[in-house]
Amino acid sequence: MVRGFRSFHPIILLLYYLFAMAALMLYQHPMFLALATVAILLMNFMLDGGLELRKWRAMILIMAVLTLVLTPFFNQRGNHLLFYLFEKQVYLEAIWQGVMISLTLVCILTLFLTFNLVITPDKFVFLFSKIMPQWALLTMLSLRFVPLLRKRLLEIGDVQSIKGFSLKTGSVKGRAQSGMLFLQTLLTWSLEESIQTADSMTARGYGLGKRSKYQPYYMKKRDWLAFAFLLVSGSLVLFGWWLGDGVLTLLPVLEPVWLSGREWLYWILFFMMIGFPIWTEGKEMVKWKFLRRIG
């Protein structure tokens, strides 16, 4: 979808992730975090059909369950003693804390999965170059070398294996020796070849004056609108945290978990902000589904 969440200016996207991360860390309340988990999982499914999520599913689950189980076990503070486990007290407060920590973990990890889908390497380099142009160029140059060196090492291995120097067969010592020789060859060869790269860069005027940078992205009207939305909702969410509406007080007295009054307002605001990708991506999905039928 050309106009989905991913089509926003990288800076807007980065801003969203910064706000979302901050909100997840600050709002330590099961009701808020549960909502965020649902929203972010939904976002994962909308962006790539849950493909990336499936790859990490097991690891995320294990981590969540471990924190959920272990927190009450180590946290020995609270007023509501529930039961004893291996002669240790288990408190209700500690269980809620476990729930919150594990939900935060799930949220942050799954949010990061979408970060990888949304901030593709070219967007990342673009953002990076805003801060440190020289380093961004260096990153680009080295990016090119990763597949190149891999390919070259494979070539060396192929040619040498017919000569009888192999990494796959022979004694450990022999293999290690061959390996060192291969790496040394890779290094000399690549250095030799990169002189030509340097020549070609110089011939095209590299290092002569101030470099300009091609800007593949520019702020459109919808980017400004999104910027305004994120700024307003983000500040309100921060304000809510400052008021203490999104934090579950555990000690000295456990606050009721169910929300009340003004907290519902912030709950909705929180959802609006975290769910920003869902609106933008969802709008496009709906458009596709219904507009096609009219045609």
Partner 1 sequence: MEILATHRLSFTYPNATIPALKDISIQVKQGEFVVLCGPSGSGKSTLLRLFKPEIAPHGIKEGTLFFQGKPLQEVTPIVNAKELGMVFQDPENQIAMDNVLEELIFGMENLGFTTEQMRKKVAEMVNFFGLNPLLDKKIDELSGGQKQLLNLASILLLEPSVLLLDEPTAQLDPIAAKEFIHMLQRLNEEFGITIVIVEHRLEELFPIASRVILFDNGVLLHDTTPREMVKELGTHKTMKSFLPSSALLYLEFYKKAHAETIPLNVKETRQWLQGEHVEWDEPSEVSSAAAVPSPILELKEVDYQYSKNTPAVLYNLDLTIYEGEWLAIVGANGTGKSTLLKVIGGILKAQHGSMKYKGKKVRKWEPRKVSYLPQNPKLFFIQDTIRKEFEHLALKHGERNPEERIQNLLNKFGIAHLQNQHPYDLSGGELQKAALIGSLLVEPTILLIDEPTKGLDPESKRAFGELVSTLVDEGLTVVMVTHDIEFSATYATRCSMLFQGKITVTENTRDFFHENTYYTTVLNRATRNSSAYPVVTLEEARRIWRVKSPF
The binding site for partner 1 (CB under 8 A) comprises 122, 140-141, 143-144, 147-148, 151, 155-156, 158-165, 181-182, 184-185, 188-189, 192-194, 196-197, 199-216
Partnered with residue 89 across adjacent β-strands are 84
Nearer to partner 1 among residue 45 and residue 145 (C-beta): 145
CA distances from 152 to 145, 165, 255 (A): 10, 16, 63
CA dihedral 209, 215, 221, 225 (to 10 degrees): -100
Nearer to partner 1 among residue 215 and residue 260 (C-beta): 215
Q: How far is the CB of 163 from partner 1 (least distance, A)?
A: 6
Q: Report the SS3 class of residue 2.
A: coil
- Spell out the residues 6+ positions from residue 71 whose beta carbon is closer than 8 angstroms to its own: 94, 95, 97, 98, 101, 102
Nearer to partner 1 among residue 145 and residue 224 (C-beta): 145
Nearer to partner 1 among residue 147 and residue 295 (C-beta): 147
Q: How far is the CB of 201 from partner 1 (least distance, A)?
A: 5
Q: How far is the CB of 231 from partner 1 (least distance, A)?
A: 26
Q: How far is the CB of 141 from partner 1 (least distance, A)?
A: 6
Q: How far is the CB of 32 from partner 1 (least distance, A)?
A: 40
Helices (H) and strands (E) in the chain, counts: 10, 2
Which residues in 242-251 are b (16+ Cβ under 10 Å) and which e? eeebbbbebe
Nearer to partner 1 among residue 201 and residue 285 (C-beta): 201
